Amino acid sequence: MEFIIDTIDLEEIKDAIEHMPIVGVTSNPSIVKNTHPEKFYDHMREIRNIIGKDRSLHIQVTAKKAEDMVKEAHKIHEEIDDAVYIKVPVSYEGLKAIKMLKKEGCPITATAIYDEMQAMMALAAGADYLAPYVNRIGNLGNDPYQLIANVSTRIDHDQYPTKIVAASFKGVQQIRDALDAGAQAVTAPVAILKQIFKNPSIDKAVDDFNADWYSMYGKGNSLLEVE
């Protein structure tokens, strides 16, 4: 199970990896627009410095033609490193680009998945991650969790090394449902992941424990001060 974050905000990334078991950072042009770094590659190199090589970094191409997607992938690897996962939308041209890049051994995150057969095609083409858009699929009246379950079953049945990284969330319940359906990973905004801990019962439990402790040993006498 992997928790990945949708952001390129440097302070947000630092905070998230200090507090949560975050294993990667994903971006796309819309996520980049939210932060709007003046020098894109300098900014992404700084993210790599923050997260290190042990965490994954996913950067999306912007071209629409397969050959141009491949050129952009090469540029990304030249500017950052060849461990970056290239995010490629699973369009007809995108699928061609995935095949071309996998022949070179490029790590691929197949994104913008709305349909089960899209996922199956990307799976067969060798994508390392498949990113179905949970909330957007649901908004179209389809069941994203059935898609995840079916593709997860296919991955297990045929022993693909590919992982499903569910994306496009509006709340914690959607994340939980995606994991329960069989997604091996999720990528979500930091703000949504933080919602997990915004539970008054958690705060009350901590406050009650503290009150019991200090009622015995006196205010200011934490575990560091008592004998």
Residues in the chain: 227
Separation of alpha carbons 165 and 192, rounded Å: 16
Among residues 65, 71, 87, 163, which one is catalytic?
87
Q: What pLDDT was estimated at residue 185? A: 98
Looking at residue 226, the DSSP 8-state letter turns out to be -
Answer yes or no: pTM beyond 0.75. Answer: yes
Among 152, 150, 102, CA closest to 127: 102
Question: Helix 92-103 crosses helix 66-79 at what angle (to 10 degrees)?
Answer: 50
What does the DSSP assignment read for 140-172?
TT--HHHHHHHHHHHHHHHT---EEEEB--SSH
Bridge partners (DSSP) listed for residue 185: 2, 165
> Is 87 part of the annotated catalytic residue set?
yes
Amino acid at 20: M
Q: What pLDDT was estimated at residue 156? A: 97
C-alpha pair distances (Å), 204 with each of 44, 136, 191, 197, 220: 40, 36, 22, 12, 19
Computed from CA positions of residues 132, 146, 115, 172, in that sequence, does the dihedral angle turn out positive or negative? Answer: negative
Average pLDDT, consecutive stretches of 10 residues, N- to C-terminus, the chain (227 residues): 97 98 97 95 98 97 98 98 98 98 98 97 98 97 98 97 97 98 98 94 95 93 92
Q: What pLDDT was estimated at residue 190? A: 97
For residues 189 and 182, is the Cβ–Cβ distance under 8 A?
no
Token pair, residue 109, equals 């995150």
C-alpha pair distances (Å), 210 with each of 12, 30, 51, 217, 227: 29, 43, 34, 11, 17
Q: What pLDDT was estimated at residue 227? A: 87
